[in-house]
């Protein structure tokens, strides 16, 4: 066991063992949480209340989460002088499953986004964003009930790798000279240049995680979203490697869509399909019921997950997780909304739904369903926070904490 300087390991709990695919979860698992900055403390308090109530209601005291606070962001800076203490990374690795509120990205001083750092250092290579409509939540589309997708966005590669050079810089000029001289490529003068690496290793482990998720959750398809008709060796290769890993590791339980066109039946197997990125944005609006798990490279997934979230009520109701082979970190998908900090006003829905995903990850599905029932009940009773209330007729505006209590009352 590691010694922690700032965090305290709860004496009552036990460690989760195993890997993401095969977790061994004790009845009283220690789960680290990062409260987060800005509205983080408000939404975390409501979330913790809801999760504890859902677990108590579902297991009658036989199961309980031993919460352990670990520090990042402004609170970490205050107590340790660092934005992301090394011991926080160690605790997340040791205890394997954790949840976090939003974190401020410090401006200036060369400090990288804490969220990006957490993903990279812990190798959380898949960003998982389920998108499902809760009846009653205001939506801009006519049939939001048809939206039930899980976007799996690759988290470590693509143009997000951060390999880029500014227009006119010496580096950009050298890269341009090399590409023009040795590679026969023509690049316009003063171009900014960015690199888009996509590897078979990064793609295959990510698509394999998406397929395993589909199998474990009884979902009928995994769609590979790419712009491979234009970017053949990056996004086109993503599609090819996706089909390859399905054939190599999941031959008996998956089937490529092309074989269905030839008359074969899916027969309960997960259908692997692919769609060009631009058409995918149409498809999720026009034929959302045909898509279940969608596996994407990094940039496509960033765009698609927000566009899908908008169909079911926006980021305030969109959960997410960053998951690797060892660690799974569940998080609110919105930011710290500093103007609402400490006002007990904002919607805790994103963090609460992320906590529901976390309970599913622990295979505590009964407690996850209790959260779903509670949320559906609270929205159905039209007792909602300001962001939903301003879009709903006849709704009652409630505070963050009251919304949490209303969810518990409807479990």
Residues annotated as catalytic (active site), given as ranges: 160, 227, 278, 302
Is 58 a binder of ligand NAP (CB under 6 A)?
no
- 161-200 footprint of ligand NAP as x/- string (CB under 6 A): ----------------------------------------
| Residues whose CB is less than 8 angstroms from the CB of residue 391 and which lie 6 or more positions away in sequence, other chains included | 138
Question: What is the footprint of ligand NAP within residues 34-53 (CB under 6 A)?
Answer: 39, 43
> Residue 389 Cβ, how far from ligand NAP at the closest point, in Å?
11
| Piece of the chain touching ligand NAP by CB under 6 A; list 184-192, 256-264, 270-278, 333-341 | 333-341
| Piece of the chain touching ligand NAP by CB under 6 A; list 99-107, 162-170, 204-212, 220-228 | 99-107
- Find out whether 226 and 236 touch, Cβ atoms under 8 Å: yes
- Short-list 94, 124, 122, CA closest to 14: 94
> Residue 365 Cβ, how far from ligand NAP at the closest point, in Å?
25
Strand duo 328-332 + 164-165: pairing: unpaired
Is 138 a binder of ligand NAP (CB under 6 A)?
no
Question: Residue 121: how many CB atoms within 10 A of its CB?
Answer: 14
At residue 125, the 3 state secondary structure works out as coil
Q: Which of 47, 88, 115, 234 binds ligand NAP (CB under 6 A)?
A: 115
Is 331 a binder of ligand NAP (CB under 6 A)?
yes
Alpha-carbon distance of 304 to 157, in angstroms, equals 17
The DSSP code for 393 is T
The DSSP code for 53 is H
> Residue 83 Cβ, how far from ligand NAP at the closest point, in Å?
12
Question: What is the footprint of ligand NAP within residues 353-392 (CB under 6 A)?
Answer: 387
Q: Which of 26, 256, 335, 377 binds ligand NAP (CB under 6 A)?
A: 335
> Residue 49 Cβ, how far from ligand NAP at the closest point, in Å?
16
Dihedral, 193, 196, 283, 380 alpha carbons, nearest 10: -100
- Find out whether 156 and 209 touch, Cβ atoms under 8 Å: no
Helix segments in 262-364, DSSP class H: 277-286, 298-311, 349-361
Contact set with ligand NAP (CB under 6 A): 39, 43, 102-105, 115, 316, 331, 334-337, 346-347, 350, 387
């Amino acid at each position: 066991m590691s010694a922690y300087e700032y965090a305290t390991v709860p004496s009552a709990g036990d460690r989760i063992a195993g890997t993401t695919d095969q977790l061994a979860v004790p009845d009283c698992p220690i789960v680290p949480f990062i409260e987060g900055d800005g509205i983080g403390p408000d939404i975390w308090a409501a979330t913790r209340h809801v999760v504890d109530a859902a677990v108590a209601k579902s297991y009658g005291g036989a199961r309980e989460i031993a919460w352990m606070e670990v520090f990042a962001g402004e609170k970490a800076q205050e107590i340790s002088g660092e934005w992301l203490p090394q011991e926080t990374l160690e605790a997340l690795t040791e205890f394997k499953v954790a949840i976090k509120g939003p974190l401020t990205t410090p401006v200036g001083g060369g400090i990288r986004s804490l969220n990006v750092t957490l993903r990279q250092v812990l190798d959380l290579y898949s960003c998982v964003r389920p998108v499902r409509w809760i009846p009653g939540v205001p939506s801009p589309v006519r049939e939001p009930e048809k939206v039930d997708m899980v976007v799996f966005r690759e988290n470590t590669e693509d143009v997000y790798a951060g390999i880029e050079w500014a227009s006119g810089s010496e580096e950009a000029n050298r890269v341009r000279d090399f590409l023009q001289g040795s590679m026969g490529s023509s690049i316009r003068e003063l171009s900014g240049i960015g690199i888009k690496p996509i590897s078979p290793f990064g793609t295959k482990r990510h698509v394999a995680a998406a397929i395993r998720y589909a199998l474990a959750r009884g979902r009928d398809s995994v769609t590979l979203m790419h712009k491979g008709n234009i970017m053949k060796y990056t996004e086109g290769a993503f599609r090819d490697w996706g089909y390859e890993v399905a054939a190599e590791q999941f031959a008996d339980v998956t089937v490529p869509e092309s074989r269905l066109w030839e008359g074969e039946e899916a027969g309960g197997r997960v259908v692997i399909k692919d769609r060009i990125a631009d058409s995918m944005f149409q498809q999720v609006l026009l034929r959302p019921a045909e898509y279940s798990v969608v596996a994407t490279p990094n940039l496509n997934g960033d765009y698609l997950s927000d566009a899908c979230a908008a169909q079911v009520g926006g980021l305030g109701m969109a959960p997410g997780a960053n998951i690797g082979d060892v660690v799974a970190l569940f998080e609110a998908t919105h930011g710290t909304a500093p103007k609402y900090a400490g006002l007990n006003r904002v919607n805790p829905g994103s963090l609460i739904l992320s906590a529901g995903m976390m309970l599913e990850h622990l295979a505590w599905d009964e407690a996850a369903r209790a959260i779903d029932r509670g949320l559906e009940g609270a929205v159905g009773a039209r007792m909602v926070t300001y962001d939903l209330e301003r879009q709903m007729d006849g709704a009652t505006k409630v505070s963050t904490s009251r919304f949490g209590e209303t969810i518990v009352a409807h479990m």
